[in-house]
Amino acid sequence: MEPPSEGPGAGGETSGAALADLLRGAQPEILEAWERAVRRMPAGRDLPRPHLLDHIPTLLEEIADMVDALRVGRTPKPPSETAQAHAEERLEEGFDLTSVVTEYALLRSTITRSLWRKQNLPGGPEGFLTLHQAIDAAIVAAVERYTRARDRGAGESRAELERVLAQVDIERLRFRDLVNNLDHVVVWEADALSLRFSFVSERATPVTGMTPAEWMSAPDFWGTHVPAAEHGRLLALFRRCLEARTDERLDHRFLRPDGRVLWVHTGVHGTERAGAPMFQGVTIDITELRESIQAREQILEIVSHDLRNPLSVITMNLELLARRAPPGEAGADLRQRTETALRHARHMARIIGDLVDLAAVAANRLSVARKPEEPRGIVQEAVASFEERASEKGIGLGCEVVGEPPRVLCDHDRVIQILGNLLGNAISATEPGGSVVVRVEPREDEVVFSVADTGRGIPAEHLPNLFKPYWRGDANAYKGTGLGLAISWGLVVAQGGRLWVESEVGRGTTFSFVLPVDRT
C-alpha cells in the first residue's frame, strides 16, 4: 500500500476537488462509524438517532466546502455557526463540555480512518491540514458557544433560584400569619413516635391558656390535658394515623390549666421529614359549637315529647269529629274542614318526625331494630302505599323483583320509610304519562333496591349536595323540608348499607341502596 501523496505537485485544483468529492461520497460511512463511537459515550447512549446526528452532516458538508474554497484560492469559511448551534443543542441534551470535545475528536479520527482506507489523500498535506483546520475551528467555536450558554444558563438559574427563594419567604410569612391568626385553631407539628411538639402556633395561648413553649416542653402533653376516658381513644387515633398513614380526627375534652374544660376537635395528618415520621395537626376549640348542638338537641327533645303528644290528641279528636259529622249535606262542610285540619296535622307530625330523625342521624344515635326480612314483601308494600297517588297524577308505578332475592338484615319500618321518601320524590319529579319503577335484585352478599323515574333529571352540579340536610336544588319543583334524602342516607348507613344516585337531565333519575344479606 502506498502512503498518501506529499507535496503540492500531487494535488492542485484537481486533487482538491477530488478530496472534497471524496469527503462528500464517504459521508454515510463516516456518519455510521462516528455514531457507533459516540454511542459508547454515556451521554450519547440513549439519544434518538436524529438528535445524535444533529448538525454533524451539515458540518461534514461545510468541511468539504472549505476544501473547495482552498482549491480555488478563496479564504475558507470555518463551520463556526454550525458548531455553535450543535454545542447549544448538546448543552440542552445534558452533554458536559468534555463530551462535546470528545465528539469532535471522534469525528476527526473517523474521517482520517475513512480516507486512509481509500489508500489515497488527494490534495496532499495541504488538503489533509485543511481537514484538521476545519475540525479545530469547529471545536473552538463549539467550546466558546457551550461555555457562554452554560454560564448564561447558570446566571439565569441563579436569578431563578433567587426568585424562588423570595417567593418561599413570602409564602412562609403568609403561612405564619395565617396559622397565627386563626381564631379558635391551634396548628401544630409533632414527632409521630414521641408525640413531642416541634411547632405550635401562637393561637395556643388564648385557646388553651398555654404558650407554644409550654406545649413543646410538656413531657406528656396529651396525657396531662385530655381526660383519661378519652386519652386512650386519642392515642389509638395517633397509632392508626402512624400505621395506616390515614387522616384521623376526634372530638374530645381538653383540660385547661385554669380549670376550664373545652371541647376540641383534633385532626391529624401523617407525613415524613428527613425520613422520620411526623404528625401535622390542628386542634380546634368547638366548645361553643358543642353547646349549640346540645341546645338544639334539647329543643328537639321538647319538640319530640311536648309537641308530639298534644298533636296526637288533636289528630285523634279530628278523626273522631269527622266520624261523628252528620251524614249528607248537613255534615259536608264539617267533614271538609276536619279533613283539611287532619291533613295539616299529619304533615306537621311528619315534619316533627323528620327533625327528630335528623338530630339522631347527626348524633350517630339513630335507632334501628334489624331482623331478617323478605325484600319482595317490603317493596310490594311500599309500592302499594303509593299506587293511589301515582294514579291520580297519571303516572305508571311498577315493581320488578329479579330472581329470588335472599332475606336481608334490616329494620322493616325504616326501609319502608326510605322507599317512601324515594318514591315520593320520584312521583313529584315525574310528569303525567311518565313512569316510576321500584326494582330489587340480589348482588353477591347484598340486595340492591332502586327507585327509577322518567322525570326531569337532576343537573350534575346538584348531585353532590343531594344528601345534605335542607338542600333543595329547585325549591319550586319539590315540596317539603329537604330532609328526606339526608334522613334516608342516615337510615341506610345505620343498617350497614350505602345509598347513591344516578341521573341525566331530561332522562330521569335512579336512587339505589344496598342492604346486607341475612347470614344467620
The end-to-end CA distance of the chain, in Å, is 100
DSSP-derived secondary structure for 180-243? HS-TTEEEEEEETTT--EEEE-TTHHHHHS--HHHHHH-TTHHHHHS-HHHHHHHHHHHHHHHH
pLDDT, position 7: 36
Per DSSP, 307 falls in state I
- In this prediction, residues 267-272 reach a mean pLDDT of 90
CB proximity list for 367: less than 8 A, separation 6 or greater: 360
Identify the architecture of domain 8-155 in CATH.
Orthogonal Bundle (1.10)
Give the alpha-carbon dihedral of 170, 172, 176, 182, to 10 degrees. 80
The whole model's pTM is what?
0.47
Q: Which residues pair with 197 in a beta bridge?
A: 190
Task: Please tell me which residue, 19 or 99, carries the higher pLDDT value.
Answer: 99
As a whole number of angstroms, the distance between CA 90 and CA 77 comes to 23
Rg from Cα positions in the chain: 43
Buried b (16+ CB within 10 A) or exposed e, 254-287: beeeeeeebbbbbebbbeeeeeeebbbbbbbbbb
Each residue's pLDDT tens digit, 118-167: 655 555 556 666 667 777 777 777 777 777 777 766 665 566 656 666 66
pLDDT, position 255: 95
- Same CATH topology for 8-155 and 371-516? no
CA dist list (Å): 488 to 224, 427, 497: 42, 17, 11
> Is the torsion defined by CA of 466, 301, 341, 420 positive or negative?
positive
Each residue's pLDDT tens digit, 410-465: 999 999 999 999 999 999 999 999 999 999 999 988 999 999 999 989 898 888 88
Nearest alpha-carbon partner for 470 in 351, 346, 328? 351
- In this prediction, residues 206-233 reach a mean pLDDT of 93
Q: Locate cell 262542610: which residue?
A: 333
As a whole number of angstroms, the distance between CA 495 and CA 416 comes to 13
Banded model confidence at residue 469, pLDDT cuts 50, 70, 90 = confident
Residue 470 has pLDDT above 50, yes or no: yes
Average pLDDT in the chain: 82
As a whole number of angstroms, the distance between CA 212 and CA 196 comes to 12
Which of the residue ranges 7-21, 177-191, 323-337, 432-446 would you say has the lowest mean pLDDT?
Answer: 7-21
CATH for 371-516 (3.40.50.300, 3.30.565.10, 3.40.190.10, 3.30.70.60) = 3.30.565.10
Identify the architecture of domain 185-285 in CATH.
2-Layer Sandwich (3.30)
Each residue's pLDDT tens digit, 315-342: 888 888 888 888 888 788 888 888 888 8
Enumerate the domain spans of the chain: 8-155, 185-285, 290-362, 371-516
Residue 475 has pLDDT above 70, yes or no: no
pLDDT, position 67: 75
pLDDT, position 191: 93
Nearest alpha-carbon partner for 282 in 195, 204, 211? 204
% of the chain beyond a pLDDT of 70:
83
